[in-house]
Amino acid sequence: MQVLQLDSRLKTSFRYSLYLFAAAMPFSIFITQVAIGVLLLCWLGRIFITKQLRFQKTGLEYAFLAYLIAELIALVFSTNFGQSVIYLKRFLLIPIVYSLASGIDNEKDLKTAIYIFIISTGLYSLSGIISYIINPNVRVRHIQNSMTEGGITMLGALAAFTVAWFTKKIFWKIIFLSSTIISIICLVLTATRGSWLGFFVGIFIILFYLNKKILLMIPVMIVAFYFLLPANFKTRVENIFNPNYRTNQYRLYWWSVGLKIFKDHPLVGIGDVSTGDMYDKYKDPGDKERIGHFHNNFVHIAVTLGGIGLAAFLYMTIAIFYRLWKIDKKTNYGWALAALAMFVAFHINGLFEWNFGDQEIITMIWFSLGLALVIKPAQYVKTAE
């Protein structure tokens, strides 16, 4: 009896920490971390006391293990062992996937977590729009970082649009479409071109699955997007592929420095560390900048984890994409499709930003993946009522 009571309490605590997790992600790392900690403890506690719950196999075990091994190998040869130990926390976020996939055992909790997440990102985006209205001379930003804001609103818009498509109830469809529009507007105001590109590729993935005829809307959306931009943002679009544009030049130069470092540390890299010290050794004498990452997931992984790490990262990326692709896209209110689009958009954005190392963004990716793996196609209805 005591075991059943304790299990019930842990299950209740898991549920409310899940809801807090979904709500806090866009707003606060601290609250999100607390919610994740409680979530994991409740999940592990239930496994321990019931002796019945088990780790839910996801089909990604070898991919995650490969990434962990690459991190540990790079740790041994790291140029800054202590810092590499700290950055192992990247791997410690992956259990989010298993806690959600194993711990959520009913449709209500899944549905509520999805709905809270979409509403929360919509409210977050609304606060960004208000900040722009108050000060239109400043790009909308998350604390001091517009790229993080761009990534959050990009993911939020894709999630809201997909779930709105599958939702049957008019009230919730209006809520989710409103969240989509608000998130897109905020995304525009971040002026982060990598997030813009990620969003359009994500929309392409969604429409490709839902109705290929609607793909014709994408060129219209891009044209409308351009003409609705604030005048001072249009230059950023016009020069998006211009190698001589100032910020493009910076990235091309940073990547060239990264490749030089990789050539000298091709196997195990320099360790999962901030790259500032190593960058100083390889940059041109006249370069006054000092960067802690290379604004590209693949370049940064190659520099810090070497060829072994890059191979493991690519393996993990392909495995996750394949796993999401194999899930019935209509299951979980279209969430599997949303998670797939979010994952692809994340990597498009990651061609121009180290978003794998951005805790707010990667936490959303693990959250979306975990929810997508919760329910097998035959268990629940395929669309929201």
236-294, pLDDT tens digit by residue? 888 888 888 888 999 999 999 999 999 999 999 999 999 999 999 999 988 888 889 99
Q: Look at residue 383 and tell me if it is in a domain.
A: no
Give the tokens for residue 19.
């809801």
Q: Read off the amino acid at residue 118.
A: I
Cβ atoms 377, 328 nearer than 8 A:
yes
pLDDT at 285: 86
Q: How confident is the model at residue 8 (pLDDT cuts 50, 70, 90)?
A: confident
Residue 316's φ and ψ, nearest 5 degrees, are -65, -40
Q: How buried is residue 156: exposed, middle or buried, by Cβ count under 10 Å (0-12/13-18/19+)?
A: buried
Give the tokens for residue 212.
């290929």
pLDDT at 376: 57
DSSP characters over 68-90 = HHHHHHHHHT-SSHHHHHHTTHH
Cα diameter, the chain: 72
Q: What gap in Å lies between CA 136 and CA 214, rounded to an integer?
A: 34
How many angstroms separate the first and last alpha carbons of the chain? 36
Q: Look at residue 137 and tell me if it is in a domain.
A: yes
Assess whether pLDDT exceeds 50 at residue 379. no
Min mean pLDDT across 42-56, 124-138, 301-315 is at 42-56
Q: What gap in Å lies between CA 303 and CA 375, rounded to an integer?
A: 38
Give the tokens for residue 385.
């009522």
pLDDT at 278: 95
Q: Where are the beta strands (DSSP E) in 226-274?
A: none
DSSP characters over 4-72 = HHHHHHHHHHHHHHHHHHHHHTTT-HHHHHHHHHHHHHHHHHHHHHHS---PPP-S-HHHHHHHHHHHH
pLDDT at 54: 65
Q: By C-alpha distance, which of 25, 102, 32 is closest to 61? A: 102
Give the pLDDT mean for 305-320.
98
Buried (b) or exposed (e) across 181-190, using 16+ Cβ within 10 A? ebbbbbbbbb
Q: How confident is the model at residue 382 (pLDDT cuts 50, 70, 90)?
A: very low
Q: How confident is the model at residue 338 (pLDDT cuts 50, 70, 90)?
A: very high
Q: Look at residue 161 and tell me if it is in a domain.
A: yes
3-state DSSP call for residue 242? Answer: coil
Assess whether pLDDT exceeds 60 at residue 377. no
Give the pTM: 0.93
Q: Look at residue 340 and tell me if it is in a domain.
A: yes
pLDDT at 332: 66
Residue 229's φ and ψ, nearest 5 degrees, are -65, 145
Q: Look at residue 299 and tell me if it is in a domain.
A: yes
Q: Which domain holds residue 344?
A: 55-246+285-372
Residue 87's φ and ψ, nearest 5 degrees, are -75, -5
Q: How many domains does the chain have?
A: 1
Q: Look at residue 115 and tell me if it is in a domain.
A: yes
Q: Count CB neighbours of 223 within 10 A.
A: 10
Q: By C-alpha distance, which of 241, 226, 192 is closest to 349? A: 192
In the chain, what percentage of residues exceed pLDDT 70? 95
Mean predicted lDDT score pLDDT of the chain:
91
Q: Look at residue 7 and tell me if it is in a domain.
A: no
Q: How confident is the model at residue 378 (pLDDT cuts 50, 70, 90)?
A: very low
Dihedral, CA atoms, 13, 19, 20, 25, nearest 10 degrees? 140
Kindly report, residue by residue over 210-222, the tens digit of the pLDDT: 888 888 788 888 8
pLDDT at 215: 83
Give the pLDDT mean for 133-142.
89
pLDDT at 214: 83
Q: What gap in Å lies between CA 158 and CA 218, rounded to an integer?
A: 14
pLDDT at 52: 65
3-state DSSP call for residue 248? Answer: helix
Of 330 and 41, the one with more pLDDT: 41
pLDDT at 142: 85
Cβ atoms 151, 349 nearer than 8 A:
yes
pLDDT at 75: 96
Kindly report, residue by residue over 193-211, the tens digit of the pLDDT: 999 999 999 999 999 998 8
pLDDT at 329: 76
Residue 27's φ and ψ, nearest 5 degrees, are -100, -40
E strand or H helix that includes residue 134: helix 107-134
Cα dihedral 228, 206, 169, 114 sign: negative
pLDDT at 375: 64
Q: Look at residue 48 and tell me if it is in a domain.
A: no
